[in-house]
Structure 1
Amino acid sequence: MNKQVYDRLGETIYQTTLANGLKVILMPKAGFHKTFAIMTTDYGSIDNEFVPRGQTEPVRFPDGIAHFLEHKLFEKKDHDAFDLFGQYGASANAFTSFTQTSYLFSTTSHLKENLNILLDFVQQPYFTAATVNKEKGIIGQEIQMYDDDPGWQSYFGMIGQLYPKEPLHIDIAGTVASIDKITADDLYAAYNTFYQPSNTSLVVVGQLDPEETLDWVTGNQAGKDFGPAEPIKRIPSPQATPADIVPAMTRHLSVTRPKVSIGIRGFNEVPSGRDGLDYSVAMSLMFDLLFNDTSDNYLRLYDANVIDDSFGYDFQVQRGAQFAQLAGDTDDPETFISELTAILDDAPAQLKGAESQFELVKREAIGRIIGAINSVEAIANQYDGPLFAGATIFDELATLERIQFTDLIDVTQTFLTNSQRTTYTVLP
């Protein structure tokens, strides 16, 4: 195993890649009673068109298939994986994002047994027409629940206007109509293509012995035959241009106050590997300087009742996409939009005016990371996999420590001069 020691923090990470391609990342936490494990495949909701393993022609699969597959992997012919975790005192869950699907558990005992359950249920699929049809009703109810959620609709409404041609605008769970088309054969095709060990990582953090834990994982994998790894052939979707972005949309839902979401899509190319992590951290700091709750902009707009405690912002880099969101409840949507838009229009000058606050904002971000290092869940969940060349939470900390104010000015100029905006307003 490759051993990387972080002396100043007193932490060590062990990493290796097994013969079958599975990436294993282990981090012992002295004094912790809990252990958290997460197994992730580089396959999410946007991967709905690809060449199935063993075939030569691309196939367009129904929207929501990655999320559907996440649900179905827990159910086996004669048991449910949740029941097995319960027998060994573990709490388990799973989630699907735009680009990844993850399965996880936390436990204070029986780590070996729970690791075997995790590895076995993820790596041993069982689908039938009957079980697939039963799940359609369950997921259909979940989709309908989110259809009635104003916050969720505001978010995906904004995404849909920024990415009108790409699958990013499609709800991760799909639609009731799309999941009704999913078959057991579809699930096997997607599973066999994307759940190859070489497209998967396992991160374990907490009370563990790294050598012993690796032996358990290696032993589990030695008893399985996955066949040779095959290249994954995703079919790129049509890319929208700045002219395709929908500038504004208004919708009426059951809300007591208007909700506004401003979206910003970057059309510049995100650097690859660790440079992409540097870029993402710099962009997040830029939004902190402009909009965090100690900034002049926030305090001014809060005092004027343009924003309130519901206001928030976020910047994301996904595989093939980057976008920011500014959102909140407001009694005056027009002023909310005009004020925040004016700040964005004047962002380079605004940043220079806030240079004196840079070190404070940077230290706050560093403090959040150091605080997260005390959470086994946060450490494991912030493993970036292939997006930033396997960066960990400690690499993010190192990036924060070396970043300079001039880096923010550079990325702000690049992003904002190569971006397009949209607004999505939900009215009562």
Structure 2
Amino acid sequence: MDKKSYPQINETLYTEVLENGLTVYLLPKNDYHKTYGLFTTDYGSIDNEFVPLGKNEMIRVPDGIAHFLEHKMFEKEDGDVFQAFGRQGASANAFTSFTKTSYLFSTTDQVEKNLETLIDFVQAPYFTEETVEKEKGIIGQEIQMYLDDSNWRLFFGILGNLYPKHPLHIDIAGTVESISQITADDLYTCYHTFYHPSNMTLFVVGKMEPEEMMASIRKNQQQKTFAAAAPIKRHFPIEAAADIVRESSIEMPVQRPKVLVGLKGLDEVPEDGFDLLKYKTAVNLLLQLLFGNTSQNYLSLYNTGLLDDSFSYEFNLDRSFHFADIGGDSDQPEQLAAELERILLSYEDSPELTEENLDLLKKKMIGKYFQSLNSLEYIANQFSQSLFGKTTLFDMLSVIEAICLDDIKKIGKQFIRKDGLSRFYMYPKN
């Protein structure tokens, strides 16, 4: 078991790769009463075209199957796993993103028992055609709920413009039509391919003795048999700048128009984990410099009435994609979009890009980072989502400190390109 200390943040992380390929991370925090366990597979909604374990041919599975599989994992032949956690004084949950599926519990009691329950239920799939058919109606209602959410539709609208071929533009839950095609055999195929221990991580944070905890996890895994590990072969469509839809719109029953300007990363990102996290952090800092609520750009747009408190921006970077989206509600969405694009494309000459402004934002980011590490919920949910090779959430302080203004400008030149821009509008119906 490897032990790595982070003296600047007073954390010690224990790591071990088990014989079956499962990577285990333990973060003892013995001054807390609560413990979180998070079991994550590197499998999400975009992974719908792949070579199944033990096969040679690429297959295409229905959209939304990763999310569907997450739902079905909790149902077993002898009952619902949520009830078992409840009897043991724990709460449980799960979530599916574009690239990952995570199962988690939190408890102040019977930690090892709840951890065993988490590992065992995720590693024991049970699907029947009857239970699969029953779930289709439940998830169909969930899909309809998101279809009625204007901000959700706005987000996937800009994704549809930026990634018209890539499965990123497809709702994580799929469509009512796509989930109607899912069978129990499909679920087993996806499960055995992506839920192999070698494609998964287990992260535990909270009150524990790491040697005892790791010994318990080793014992659990040694009692189980898994197929030989094999590299997972995924396929994603090749897209170019010419494929981007430059502008599109929909109508919905909203009070005011909405707009998102999307910016798709067209160049390759760094492969090294530290450099990749540095790239992601630098783009976030660049967006804060240009659009943060203390910037002159924001204040000017706010004072002229082009934007309001609904305005937001975010940057997403993950396996096979990276993009930014910026916007919100506006009575003049076309003018707002034009101004946002102007600010982006003229970033090199922006008076916002100064050493003083960057230093202030870095201090603010470091402050929020330290504050967030007081939350076990934040650590548990962010750790597995922020793995960049051997670089983890706990390297974030070093990453922030390593960024200088020249890095911001260099990365801006790489990321901000006119041919990567798109607009998506939402107008009030009727």
User: TM-score w.r.t. structure 2 length?
Assistant: 0.97
**Which residue of structure 1 lines up, in the alignment, with residue 259 of structure 2?**
260
Deviates more, 1:343-352 or 1:366-375: 343-352
Equivalent pair of 2:348/2:409 in contact (CA under 8 Å)? yes
Alignment-derived partner of residue 367 in structure 1:
367
Find runs of 4+ consecutive structure 1 residues off by over 6 angstroms.
none
Partner residue in 2 for 1:244: 243
Q: Does the residue aligned with 2:68 lie in a helix, a strand or coil?
A: helix
Number of aligned residue pairs: 427
CA RMSD of aligned residues (A): 1.4
Query: Does residue 1:344 correspond to 2:344, yes or no?
Result: yes
Residues in 2 aligned to 1:47 and 1:6: alpha-carbon distance in whole angstroms:
34
> Taking every aligned residue pair, what percent have the same amino acid on both sides?
52
Structure 2 counterparts to residues 114-133 of structure 1, below 5 A: 114-133=114-133
AA at the equivalent of 2:260: S
CA distance in 1, matches of 2:20, 2:74: 23
Aligned counterparts, 1:381-396, within 5 A = 381-384=381-384, 388-396=388-396
Please say which of residues 271-280 and 58-67 is displaced more in the overlay: 271-280
Do the aligned partners of 2:284 and 2:314 also contact (CA within 8 Å) in 1?
yes
Match of 2:47 in 1: 47
1:229 matched to which residue of 2? Answer: 229
Structure 1 CA distance, aligned partners of 2:110 and 2:409? 50
Aligned partner letter, 1:375: S
Tell me if the contact between 1:286 and 1:351 (Cα under 8 Å) persists in the aligned partners: no
Provide the C-alpha distance between the structure 2 equivalents of 1:316 and 1:397, rounded to a whole number of angstroms: 20
| 8 Å CA contact retained: 2:94, 2:104 | yes
CA distance in 2, matches of 1:130, 1:354: 62
Partner residue, 2:91: 91
Deviations 1:31-72 (A, max 9, x none): 111111111100111110111112111111011111110000
Aligned counterpart, 1:181: 181
Gaps of 5+ in 2: none
Cα distance in 1 between the residues matched to 2:8 and 2:416: 37
Answer whether contact 2:354 2:405 (CA < 8 A) is retained: no
Residue pair 2:201, 2:384 contacting (<8 A) in 1 also: no
How far apart, CA to CA, are the structure 1 residues paired with 2:299 and 2:385?
Answer: 37
Instruction: State how far apart, in whole Å, the 2-side matches of 1:149 and 1:162 are.
Output: 20
The 1:374–1:419 alpha-carbon spacing in structure 2 relative to 1, beyond 3 Å, is farther
SS, match of residue 224 in structure 1: coil
SS in 1 for 2:181: coil
Query: 2:201 maps to which residue?
Result: 201
State the secondary structure of the residue aligned to 2:350. Answer: helix
Equivalences for residues 15-414 of structure 1 within 5 A: 15-235=15-235, 237-274=236-273, 275-350=275-350, 353-384=353-384, 388-414=388-414
CA contact (8 A) 1:268 1:418 kept: no
Once the two structures are TM-superposed, the CA of residue 334 in structure 1 deviates from its matched residue by: 1.8
TM-score (norm 1): 0.97
Shift of 1:318: 1.2
Deviates more, 1:388-397 or 1:149-158: 388-397
Worse-superposed segment, 175-184 or 339-348 = 339-348
Cα drift, residue 273 of structure 1: 2.8
1:355 Cα deviation from its structure 2 partner: 3.5
Distance 1:283 1:81 in 2: 41
Which has the higher mean CA deviation after the structures are superposed, 413-422 or 159-168? Answer: 413-422
Q: C-alpha separation between the residues in 2 aligned to 1:390 and 1:76?
A: 35
What do residues 329-363 of structure 1 show as CA deviations (whole Å, max 9, x unaligned)? Answer: 11211221121111011111116644321100011
Q: What is the alpha-carbon distance in structure 1 between the residues aligned to residue 111 and residue 136 of structure 2?
A: 33
Matched residue type, 2:348:
P
| Unmatched runs of 5 consecutive residues or more in structure 1 | none
